[in-house]
Structure 1
Amino acid sequence: MRDDGRESSNVEDRRGGSGGSSGGGGIGGLLLGSLRGKGIVAIIVAAAAAYFFDIDPALIMRLLNSGESTVTESSAPTQQIPANDKLAKFVSVVLADTEDVWRERFAAVGKEYRDPKLVLFRGSTPTPCGKGKSAMGPFYCPADQKVYIDLSFYQELKSSYRAPGDFAQAYVIGHEVGHHVQNLLGTMRKVRQQQEGAGESAANALSVKMELQADCYAGVWAHHAHKARQILEEGDIEEAMTAASAIGDDTLQKRSGQNIQPESFTHGSSAERVRWFKTGMQSGELKACDTFL
């Protein structure tokens, strides 16, 4: 992927702060196993508001029920991205590209897009959605409209999940920004309201639809970014497909030694995640991403 675009001004670098120690990132929070068995559907529902299920679920439910676009600033030390930090610079360029695309897409339907912020942290960091930890993987907090990521996640994506490549990294940002789009459009709040009165299996199914829509929105971003700025290079789409497949619920359950249990899926199977990203990529249309039909 080309990385010679502008950098976003909406990046907070907290890696030099005292919010947490450096340590291994993780995809472990991607599985819902740590929550399963508690018998509280509301916890499962709220946990799915973040990409990797370790944010304070009660807080997220209160925030989403009262209004999905509430912004609360969290306090943590920030610093400028070091000039020689290529990976941080790369994600800043990706974020800037999502800003350009979604501003245009929202304007096309008479809406105003509010840019999210991207928070870089190491180990842990405070958020209005609870304490952010590396083990969660990247996540979106609707309370402050920020995407959080410990960049060590990318090394695990490459080494443990065999999904290397810069566009695989960009896809992750595109997916989390897709959740921000859902937040601005009101989709998050509506889904949470539906989930409150649903059983566990039905609530999980709604979470899958929301996650697959975020995958589709990532594809919409890629479509328009390439159309406008030719950002994609040979092999980039395959990198995104590999990443989407690597974090499908069925693949993750297999890796953890579990039997595949579709009723417990919260993000969708590998095949579904690939299909919906491709749908957004090929169409470039928001309306093509209605996973709730």
Structure 2
Amino acid sequence: MRLRNVRGSRNIEDRRRTGGGGKASIGGVGLLIVLAIGYFAGIDVTPLLEDVPQQQTAPRDLSPEEERAAEFSSRVLVTTEAVWTQVFDQQLGRSYTPPVLVLYSGVTQSPCGGASGATGPFYCPADEKAYLDTEFFATLSRQLGAGGDFAAAYVIAHEVAHHVQNELGILGQVNQARQAAGQTQANALTVRLELQADCLSGVWARAVDGLLEPGDIEEALNAARKIGDDHLQARAGRVPQPHTFTHGTSEQRSRWFATGYKTGKLASCDTFSTDRL
């Protein structure tokens, strides 16, 4: 993705210099992949982490790699701001208020609860902020096999897409419906929510087509496949259980991203009315 001439966003809150915990170590298993699989596959990894020591860290300098991750995230975020401002205006006739992206390392706090590598990237509607431990980019590439800068950009775009859903009132409606549903139905609603966010990420990708390089879209599609519930549950040694899915299968995630990319239309991302996910 060509971002060299793209300015950074001002909506960045970088908490990585202070607080947080040191990265823990799980011998032989690999903490990052355990946490990523736990988040994306809906597997409770808490028992694996109970005996892992956490070390509080003093204020510190950021490594060059961390500085690059922040710059990259800031530039990707500003593209989402431009895209959704335009889409909201042209397709909805209304204004768009962008979210803040919180960068953290190890652990942090949010109104939605404590955040750590175990939660993965997430969006908190209570403060309208997206949270990202930039170490997840390494997890995505080295552990999950989804390398490339546009795969990382897709992760950011997906969390911003949840903010778009919040702006449209979809998050509140779905959360209300989930509270009144049983676990299986609540999971099914969450899948539709996540697939819609994938589709919205595709809408963003189409709008930034001028910044894309050969292979970028395939990087995003590969990332979507690598973090499908069925793929991650199988990778974790489990037989995929569709009733436990919370994000959708690899095929569904990549297809909905592609749908958004092909159409560029919000209306094409209505995952709640279709009979075929």
- TM category (shorter chain) comes to 0.7 to 0.9
| Deviation at residue 22 of structure 1 after TM alignment | 4.1
2:60 & 2:13 partners in 1: Cα distance?
7
1:82 & 1:112 partners in 2: Cα distance?
37
Amino acid at match of 1:88: A
Amino acid at match of 1:19: G
Amino acid at match of 2:40: L
Partner of 2:22: helix, strand, or coil? coil
Partner of 1:135: helix, strand, or coil? coil
Are the equivalent residues in 1 in contact too, given 2:105–2:133 (CA < 8 A)? Answer: yes
Match of 2:130 among 138, 144, 147: 147
Match of 1:188 among 147, 171, 183: 171
| Deviation at residue 78 of structure 1 after TM alignment | 10
Give TM-score, length-normalised by structure 1: 0.80
Is 2:40 aligned against 1:30? Answer: yes
Equivalenced residue count is: 249
* Unpaired runs of at least 5, structure 2: 25-30, 46-57
Match of 1:250 among 217, 221, 230: 230
Is 2:159 aligned against 1:179? Answer: no
- Larger mean CA deviation between 174-183 and 196-205 belongs to 196-205
Is 2:136 aligned against 1:135? Answer: no
| Deviation at residue 80 of structure 1 after TM alignment | 11
RMSD: 2.1
1:101 & 1:153 partners in 2: Cα distance?
24
| Deviation at residue 120 of structure 1 after TM alignment | 0.8
Is 2:217 aligned against 1:237? Answer: yes
| Deviation at residue 165 of structure 1 after TM alignment | 0.1
Give TM-score, length-normalised by structure 2: 0.85
- Given the superposition, is the C-alpha separation of residues 78 and 118 from structure 1 closer, same or farther in structure 2, using an over 3 Å criterion? farther
1:291 & 1:225 partners in 2: Cα distance?
23
Match of 1:119 among 96, 99, 102: 102
- The corresponding residue for 1:62 is none
2:40 & 2:233 partners in 1: Cα distance?
10
Which consecutive aligned stretches of 4+ in structure 1 deviate over 3 angstroms post-superposition?
A: 22-26, 77-84
Match of 2:244 among 255, 264, 273: 264
Q: Percent identity?
A: 49
Partner of 1:132: helix, strand, or coil? strand
| Deviation at residue 82 of structure 1 after TM alignment | 8.5
- The corresponding residue for 2:3 is 3
- Given the superposition, is the C-alpha separation of residues 263 and 93 from structure 1 closer, same or farther in structure 2, using an over 3 Å criterion? same
1:83 & 1:12 partners in 2: Cα distance?
18
